[in-house]
Structure 1
Amino acid sequence: MPDLNIAIEENAARIIARSPVSESFFKSFTLCEPNSGLASVTLGNTIFVLCRNSKLEGRFIVINGARCALSNAKPNSYDPFERIITLAISKFENDVSLPVKWGLYTDGGKRGSFFAYTAAKGSGARIFYEDRFNGGQHIYVYAINSKNIEFSNVVIEKVPYDEFNNNIVDAFIKYESLDFKKKDFDGLVEIEPPSNVIGHGWSLEEWVDRRLTNAQRIFLNKDYSQSVRLRGAAGTGKTISLIVKFLRDFISFEADHKNIRMLFLTHSKVTADLVKDLIHQLDKEDARGRAMFASAKVATIFEIASDFVQREQRGVSPIDIDAYSGRIMQRELVESIITSARLTLATQFADESSPDFINRMLTDEPAAKDRFLYEVMNEIMAVLDAEGIRSGNSKATDYINAPRPEWMVSLEKSGERKILLDIHRRYREQLREMRVISVDQLVADFVSFLSSNVWDNLMEREGYDALFVDELHLFTPLERMALKPLMRQTGVFGGRQPMFMAYDLKQTTRDYFSSLVTDGKSTSSWIGRTADGSDLVELNEVFRFTPQIAHCIADMAVSFAEVEFLDQMDRHIGESLVDDGDVPELREFNTNQKMYEWAFAYAHGRASSLGSGRRVCIICMNEILYAVYRDAGRHSGEFISIESREDLNGIRYAGKRFIYSSPEFVSGLQFDDVIVIHADRRTVDENDLGPLRRRRNLSRLYLAASRASKRLTFCASLELGGISPIFTTAIAKHTIHLAG
């Protein structure tokens, strides 16, 4: 088909942003979806995409079809269209921003450009746009160009935009004449509704009136006289409870004409996007968009930090606004520095370092090399960046000579600490060359900013009256230091600063977490100290997986007592209210190869029988072997590999291909059938991993298992020690079945 121009109204763009679109859409851009009224009409050379809530005065994003050629996108790769839709949402809403790694570049005004594809897809093509084009209110995407990045070198054709403007009224008239009962549209595409795993498709009124449990209702009815902690295992409804209270209270404040600023904070962008999606489903009257008094923002802690800090940084950006993705990039950077500098550092500081430390730095054995890298990353994140210690400053002298607390990485001699300082110096130099700062540097700067005179002057205007915090267990000590200072001190709640916080300590996949407990007391008491005097509500009923999966996970959670000071409630999983299902299986294989063959063949078969690959997921616990299985040729083409937050968009187009990923990247998602591979002794809980890594691995296994809704299978390889002892209790109590 010729490359027609595309004009998408803002409410239609919101539906597309939350919905999987079939591949045929990209061939004809023809739509007809009766439930939302999403449909396309063509006038001249422009395809208008409208929905039942579209308004003539609404904003549009207009795409020059000839210059962008979306119909010629790479096979199975619709990154440009996805990114253009994200651009639209970022302009239509104030709580969405473009990811840093998209490489946004602006002229300081209304024009901007960013990468059209992920770096992994090997294209330097950039999308060029202008906001409020030609003095109007619409966004014009005028080119995708791989040769130029300077705006002056990219031609802007005004004819397509003028044609859109001339036909907009006629497009609405034609849309009104559509008959959604007929199925005679050429190239019909039906867009699937958003995921209902957490929201179940119920309205806000239905949640408030009928669907909440007694414990959730107690939380909902908590007033703002004190902070409240919401504790519960995976699947107990923590996130939906926060969302329902956040939205219901916001609507109430707005109805009472109260100027209250509310902020919903998450640690990961995946969770932030999920929260926004659920709010859109529940907020059917668009209360947030129409609000005149109260405000309600959803963002990651890093988006908030970036927004404030970048005002003073003059073009320096954070490496990412998602914690996990940002730290993956930082880890790759540190790994390359260690590889290139370790021989020099070993020679320079050998006399001041222990032989064991030097050997660990120089080793090429994958597991030992990985452990050393994690120790270095923890030191940089939790000590050097957090405390502002830099090679050559006075703090560095204290760092080299002062006694170290027990929870810190063991650095016995001064030379070892000097090596860490030198690695940190090289790391900071590379970040400067990239004109970025790490997520930990961003937070450190943000905490400093919140104690500045500038913030004292801005606080009452830009601070918040109430905070809702999801994933509190993932926040580092430094990140938690930013929570209270974000709030207005003379707010509308009598000077109180109420926070509503949800957490599950068992989902803490950060291996620095054990450092939080230095006095032998429960980590629950530490969580409580985040908001002194806070009340506690406990959720005990599970909604997302079967009773059989819940019982198995509960027996696995007993192992946490060996490595963490979790009290009885923290170890508790809860009772499932879902229908009965199969008992989870545990399989042991003689070799990694046999395990790979069985797991991938099984997942392929299950995806085919279910008719949907995105309902089946293989989660690999072994970070070193992950890429080996991904790149093996035997099952290539049968799965989609999810290795970053951005890759999650690919799930929309999985078809009958199953999902292959790691625990961290599927956090917040749910699958009918989950196969966890490498639940073996040496991957999960060998003693020489050390308590920090073992604690982290147990949490990753818990996170992986809790992604299953109906069927759960664990696989272990005798090459890596066989079945992990974490399953001992479950085997003895028959909550897991040893399959032949």
Structure 2
Amino acid sequence: MTTDYVFSIASLQACLVAAEASWFAGMPGDQCSQWQVERIEFGDTVYFIHESDERATRRIVILDQEPFGIANSRWLKKSVLERVHRSAIVAAAPPVSLPRDWHAFHHKNLFSFFGSRRTKTDRMSRWTAENRPNGSADVLFWQFSPPNHIVALQDYQPDYSRYDEAVLFWDEALHEARTRFTGAPRVTGLVPPMVALSATFDATSRGRTYTEWLPYLSDDQRRFLERTPPVKLRGPAGTGKTLCLLLKAIREVTNARAQGKALRVLFLTHSWAMETQIDQLLRTMDERNAVRDIDVFPLFSAGSMLFNSTLPAGLEPLGEDSHEGKREQLVRVTQLLSQSILTDWPAYRSRVRPEFADTVESDPSGGDFRLFAWEVLNEFACVLGPEGIVPGASDAIQEYRDLERASWMMSLETDAEKDFILAVYGYYVDSLRADNLISSDQIINDFVKDLEKSSWQYQRLAEGYDLIFVDELHLFNEQERRALHHLTKDSKTYPKMFMALDPRQSAEVVYAGVAGRSITRDDSGRVGTVMGEVEQHSLTRVHRFGHQVLALLRHINKSWPQLDLGDDWELDLEQVHADAPSSETPTVYRHADAHEEARNALRAARAWTNRPDGGRVAVVLVDKDALELYEEMALDSEMGRVNVLGSRDDLASLQYEKRTIVLAPAEYVAGLQFDTVIVTGLPRMRRYAKWPQTRHLLSQLYLAISRASNHVEIHVNQANGSLPDVLQTAIRTGALREKE
């Protein structure tokens, strides 16, 4: 016997948000009414109806199919249904664009994808689904196939009678459910445009409108709203930079309308994921349709937005935006460097500086080599590409050798060093052409060239923007920042921009996982020239964490005076004030080895979830290489439900969780907030580590600790050597206490 299931978008989300993981094994109906959902059975179909559902509601239809269906209940898991729900939301606006690690395939209306993350107990079963079957608005999940059962979409012949039978009694189920609901129907705001993104900003927006936010702003946030551009808005995590930009954009549009003027406003992001978050926040806070005059999109897409430019047939972008593009490009550059070292490198080695040779020959998995690959990528994107140096051309070598180098460029001093980089660049360009790909940086470079044409100088008076807002400026490279100058209407004045950046974050950390050069120092390149003197406006009142957490962050900030940490650390945390309630002094615990550390850190997290003041709890790993060990420990039943974030895409699952433990590397929790954070998984550090390693440790510690509102625990193990100096001295100063 088979049983089919029909959900609405709202009913499945209500179940995912409210139900415990064990509920999904049978999905009984006795609890559903607490979530404004009714479970109705007609024949072999179970319907889940939300209080807000209508006849035309978009449905999620899951067909049971022997021998791969209900018999082993593999799809009756919360984690599997989370992906079902997310894909159904995305399918509302075709094409169905799913995260890369889902390995989706498409054929007409059919699509397939991995139903869950790979674990030791789930070997990546795949859904076969169809968007809008028979012209309906539904998403139909035909079958959930085991790893050894491959479904070829182009040959798939679905039996639509099964679908017709599954939805046959929808109207009757809807009528029956309405007789059970009590009180007036409520309009639900449960389902956001993009489910995966709502969790990231809940702590920031809190559902308030523009007017409702004003009484809650700090003095420095209010002062920012009065500023005239250009302004760089600086502040560490939790100070509300994105919130301020959005409030400022709404304010400027509203004030202009009151004066009978119309403003054209651009809000630039670095990725489509951030664009969706910004758009969702903007629409939440907007009370007077200001969003009508505010364009929000990634800089990556600005060319197609402004010039209607399209790529030639057969040419595909490497990455869907600058964020994804940089990740994809870094992988490619790293591979090409490794190959070139085996083939070309011996011809250059004797003519380069010893420190350059040491970096090239360093461990490919180490921080020095990853940072080197990142700098090579920036050299391709911001020097060789923009300067139009064509690899293989007769004058390319001399042209590159003679190029005057600015402070923001990669450190290349000898001709041989430059020649080696140029050779790798040739392989890079050839590899893209062979795969019919164009990099995101090449797209940006073409866009900049269009902006510098005389034709745009005429167009910009009508099509340029009165105001430009830029979020996450620290992720924009030299060439991307260069483009910003040309997007405003008036070329004769300084660009009217409001830019937000986090002085603790850097592109090197985000993409290469290694701290490198300063991201906010005064560059001597073109950007510094065209931007002129820009006011620095720092946010100093932190809403995220209490005084004790702030004290530890201050200590980290001041603990390395002998190292040149750069201007990205210049914000004086002594001037930053904590606005959250008082919290406990952060505590450090020592353990014998990594296994004991992992076990006790997870147990501590579980204990916090049972405390009334524990709230949302996260175990944040400073070294992401420790994730595998922690995932293994998390399988222990005594740990309870542990939500593992193996990538930023896994953020989608957070909106479905209540009091579960979140386990993630520090880089994946940027932008999130938890009541309690267990900081662990510190890397093994040599006594006299090189400064990139030290910078990386400090940055990741800062990121991990600043995720906490009230409570911080730090767990380390003796097998890794002594406690890092920054934590040893924190104990002596009282910023950190030690417990057995």
Could you state the TM-score of these two structures normalised by the residue count of structure 2?
Answer: 0.76
Q: Structure 2 vs 1, CA of residues 500 and 395 (structure 1 numbering), >3 Å: closer, same or farther?
A: same
CA distance in structure 2 between the partners assigned to 1:392 and 1:254 by the alignment: 55
Q: Which residue of 1 aligns with 2:377?
A: 380
The question of whether the paired residues in 2 share the 8 Å contact of 1:560 and 1:698 is answered with no
- The 3-state SS of whatever aligns with 1:583 is coil
**Paired letter, 2:377:** I
Structure 1 position 39, deviation (Å): 5.2
Structure 1 position 468, deviation (Å): 3.6
Determine if the alignment matches structure 1 residue 507 to structure 2 residue 505.
yes
Instruction: Provide, for residues 374-432 of structure 1, a one-character-per-residue CA deviation record: whole Å limited to 9, x for no partner.
Output: 21222123445653155314545433554644554444444443433344444455555
Instruction: Provide, for residues 568-617 of structure 1, a one-character-per-residue CA deviation record: whole Å limited to 9, x for no partner.
Output: 6455562112222211234566xxx5255235313323314524999333
Determine if the alignment matches structure 1 residue 607 to structure 2 residue 588.
no
Matches within 5 A, 1:460-479: 466-479=467-480
Instruction: Provide, for residues 93-150 of structure 1, a one-character-per-residue CA deviation record: whole Å limited to 9, x for no partner.
Output: 699954355555556xx6352523468565484644345x545555555566763455
Structure 1 position 154, deviation (Å): 2.0
The question of whether the paired residues in 2 share the 8 Å contact of 1:621 and 1:676 is answered with yes
Matches within 5 A, 1:19-38: 22-25=21-24, 27-28=26-27, 37=36
CA distance in structure 1 between the partners assigned to 2:378 and 2:390 by the alignment: 13
Determine if the alignment matches structure 1 residue 703 to structure 2 residue 703.
yes
Structure 1 position 228, deviation (Å): 4.4
Q: Which residue of 2 aligns with 1:198?
A: 203
Q: Which residue of 1 aligns with 2:576?
A: 574
The question of whether the paired residues in 1 share the 8 Å contact of 2:61 and 2:166 is answered with no
The question of whether the paired residues in 1 share the 8 Å contact of 2:210 and 2:247 is answered with no
Q: Which residue of 2 aligns with 1:584?
A: 586
Q: 1:207 is matched with which residue: 212, 222, 225?
A: 212
The question of whether the paired residues in 1 share the 8 Å contact of 2:494 and 2:531 is answered with no
Q: Structure 2 vs 1, CA of residues 163 and 588 (structure 1 numbering), >3 Å: closer, same or farther?
A: closer
Q: Which residue of 2 aligns with 1:234?
A: 237
The question of whether the paired residues in 2 share the 8 Å contact of 1:34 and 1:180 is answered with no
Q: Structure 2 vs 1, CA of residues 48 and 654 (structure 1 numbering), >3 Å: closer, same or farther?
A: closer
CA distance in structure 2 between the partners assigned to 1:507 and 1:405 by the alignment: 22
Matches within 5 A, 1:338-417: 338-353=337-352, 357-358=356-357, 360-364=359-363, 367=366, 370-384=367-381, 387-388=384-385, 389=389, 391-393=391-393, 394-400=395-401, 402=403, 404-405=405-406, 407-417=408-418
Q: Structure 2 vs 1, CA of residues 337 and 567 (structure 1 numbering), >3 Å: closer, same or farther?
A: closer
The question of whether the paired residues in 1 share the 8 Å contact of 2:444 and 2:479 is answered with yes
Matches within 5 A, 1:10-89: 22-25=21-24, 27-28=26-27, 37=36, 41=40, 51-56=50-55, 60-66=58-64, 74=74, 81-89=81-89
Q: Structure 2 vs 1, CA of residues 29 and 83 (structure 1 numbering), >3 Å: closer, same or farther?
A: farther
Q: Structure 2 vs 1, CA of residues 271 and 559 (structure 1 numbering), >3 Å: closer, same or farther?
A: farther
Q: Structure 2 vs 1, CA of residues 424 and 714 (structure 1 numbering), >3 Å: closer, same or farther?
A: farther
CA distance in structure 2 between the partners assigned to 1:376 and 1:175 by the alignment: 59
The question of whether the paired residues in 2 share the 8 Å contact of 1:640 and 1:657 is answered with yes
Instruction: Provide, for residues 44-88 of structure 1, a one-character-per-residue CA deviation record: whole Å limited to 9, x for no partner.
Output: 666555545545555x14435246978667479666644443344
The question of whether the paired residues in 1 share the 8 Å contact of 2:608 and 2:676 is answered with no
Q: Structure 2 vs 1, CA of residues 476 and 697 (structure 1 numbering), >3 Å: closer, same or farther?
A: farther
The question of whether the paired residues in 2 share the 8 Å contact of 1:261 and 1:295 is answered with yes
- The 3-state SS of whatever aligns with 1:198 is helix
Determine if the alignment matches structure 1 residue 661 to structure 2 residue 658.
no
Structure 1 position 444, deviation (Å): 3.6
The question of whether the paired residues in 2 share the 8 Å contact of 1:473 and 1:507 is answered with yes
Structure 1 position 506, deviation (Å): 1.6
CA distance in structure 1 between the partners assigned to 2:434 and 2:412 by the alignment: 29
The question of whether the paired residues in 2 share the 8 Å contact of 1:614 and 1:655 is answered with no
- The 3-state SS of whatever aligns with 1:505 is coil
CA distance in structure 2 between the partners assigned to 1:307 and 1:101 by the alignment: 28
Q: Which residue of 1 aligns with 2:187?
A: none
The question of whether the paired residues in 1 share the 8 Å contact of 2:597 and 2:716 is answered with no
Q: Which residue of 1 aligns with 2:675?
A: 672
Q: Which residue of 2 aligns with 1:115?
A: 113
**Paired letter, 1:585:** T
CA distance in structure 2 between the partners assigned to 1:26 and 1:252 by the alignment: 54
Q: Which residue of 1 aligns with 2:189?
A: none
- The 3-state SS of whatever aligns with 1:24 is helix
- The 3-state SS of whatever aligns with 1:240 is helix
Q: Which residue of 2 aligns with 1:184?
A: none
Instruction: Provide, for residues 493-523 of structure 1, a one-character-per-residue CA deviation record: whole Å limited to 9, x for no partner.
Output: x9997543322212335268736567699xx
Determine if the alignment matches structure 1 residue 216 to structure 2 residue 221.
yes
CA distance in structure 2 between the partners assigned to 1:315 and 1:21 by the alignment: 47
- The 3-state SS of whatever aligns with 1:398 is helix
Structure 1 position 25, deviation (Å): 3.8
CA distance in structure 2 between the partners assigned to 1:218 and 1:96 by the alignment: 43
**Paired letter, 2:242:** T
- Of residues 549-558 and 155-164 in structure 1, the stretch that sits farther from structure 2 once superposed is 155-164
- The 3-state SS of whatever aligns with 1:28 is coil
CA distance in structure 2 between the partners assigned to 1:296 and 1:18 by the alignment: 32
Q: Which residue of 1 aligns with 2:190?
A: none
**Paired letter, 2:670:** S
Q: Which residue of 2 aligns with 1:421?
A: 422
Instruction: Provide, for residues 419-458 of structure 1, a one-character-per-residue CA deviation record: whole Å limited to 9, x for no partner.
Output: 3334444445555566555444454444445557998999
Structure 1 position 477, deviation (Å): 2.2
Q: Structure 2 vs 1, CA of residues 265 and 61 (structure 1 numbering), >3 Å: closer, same or farther?
A: farther
Q: Structure 2 vs 1, CA of residues 57 and 657 (structure 1 numbering), >3 Å: closer, same or farther?
A: closer
- The 3-state SS of whatever aligns with 2:710 is strand
Structure 1 position 706, deviation (Å): 0.5
CA distance in structure 2 between the partners assigned to 1:19 and 1:275 by the alignment: 26
The question of whether the paired residues in 2 share the 8 Å contact of 1:6 and 1:48 is answered with yes
CA distance in structure 1 between the partners assigned to 2:27 and 2:101 by the alignment: 30
Instruction: Provide, for residues 205-236 of structure 1, a one-character-per-residue CA deviation record: whole Å limited to 9, x for no partner.
Output: 673353233333344466xx745443322222
Q: Structure 2 vs 1, CA of residues 334 and 456 (structure 1 numbering), >3 Å: closer, same or farther?
A: same
Matches within 5 A, 1:132-211: 133-135=133-135, 147-151=150-154, 153-159=155-161, 162=164, 169-179=171-181, 198-199=203-204, 201-204=206-209, 207-208=212-213, 210-211=215-216
CA distance in structure 2 between the partners assigned to 1:40 and 1:459 by the alignment: 57
- The 3-state SS of whatever aligns with 1:619 is strand
Residue identity (%) = 23
Corresponding pairs, count: 703
CA distance in structure 2 between the partners assigned to 1:18 and 1:307 by the alignment: 37
Matches within 5 A, 1:517-528: none
What do you get for the CA RMSD once the two structures are aligned? 5.2
- The 3-state SS of whatever aligns with 2:8 is strand
CA distance in structure 2 between the partners assigned to 1:384 and 1:735 by the alignment: 42
Q: Structure 2 vs 1, CA of residues 510 and 24 (structure 1 numbering), >3 Å: closer, same or farther?
A: same
CA distance in structure 1 between the partners assigned to 2:34 and 2:452 by the alignment: 50
Matches within 5 A, 1:441-456: 441-448=442-449
**Paired letter, 1:178:** R
CA distance in structure 2 between the partners assigned to 1:584 and 1:514 by the alignment: 30
The question of whether the paired residues in 1 share the 8 Å contact of 2:553 and 2:702 is answered with yes
The question of whether the paired residues in 1 share the 8 Å contact of 2:271 and 2:322 is answered with yes
Q: Structure 2 vs 1, CA of residues 96 and 113 (structure 1 numbering), >3 Å: closer, same or farther?
A: closer
Structure 1 position 246, deviation (Å): 4.9
Structure 1 position 549, deviation (Å): 0.5
The question of whether the paired residues in 1 share the 8 Å contact of 2:593 and 2:719 is answered with no
The question of whether the paired residues in 2 share the 8 Å contact of 1:20 and 1:652 is answered with no
- The 3-state SS of whatever aligns with 1:580 is coil
The question of whether the paired residues in 2 share the 8 Å contact of 1:509 and 1:700 is answered with no
- The 3-state SS of whatever aligns with 2:6 is strand
Could you state the TM-score of these two structures normalised by the residue count of structure 1?
Answer: 0.76
- Of residues 697-706 and 555-564 in structure 1, the stretch that sits farther from structure 2 once superposed is 555-564
The question of whether the paired residues in 1 share the 8 Å contact of 2:41 and 2:173 is answered with yes
Q: Structure 2 vs 1, CA of residues 382 and 31 (structure 1 numbering), >3 Å: closer, same or farther?
A: farther
